[in-house]
Amino acid sequence: MIHRRATLMGERTFGKGSVQTVMPLSNGQALKLTTSRYVTPSGASIHDRGIEPDVSLAAARQPSPAPRDAASDPAVQAALQYLRDRSLGTQVALVGSP
């Protein structure tokens, strides 16, 4: 089942499909428990598989140093250009921009 609620942009995710919680014990040791698992809306596990984006922005990857703000990030610029090319919005706001 495809939900078509969003277009994912970026690079393939790593595929860590679990959330672990560390619980301290009274003797100074700790217990690590898997408390949740990440799944897609259809119920498929992403563990060791990751999620493939609809639009790859791997070509926009910038070697370090990382950009200081979102407006200068090549991946953000590529995503904005994708939206402009498809007339998917006339106004785009970046978090942290004036």
What DSSP letter does each residue of 37-94 carry, written as one string? E-B-TTS-B-TTT----SEE-GGG--PSSPPSSGGG-HHHHHHHHHHHHTT--S----
Segment 64-86 shows an average pLDDT of 76
Q: Is the pLDDT of residue 1 over 60?
A: no
Segment 34-61 shows an average pLDDT of 83
pLDDT above 70: percentage of residues in the chain: 76
Query: What does pTM read for this prediction?
Result: 0.56
Q: Is the pLDDT of residue 94 over 60?
A: no
Segment 54-70 shows an average pLDDT of 69
**Residue 65: pLDDT band with limits 50, 70, 90:** low
How high is the pLDDT of residue 72? 77
**Residue 5: pLDDT band with limits 50, 70, 90:** confident
Q: Which residues pair with 20 in a beta bridge?
A: 34
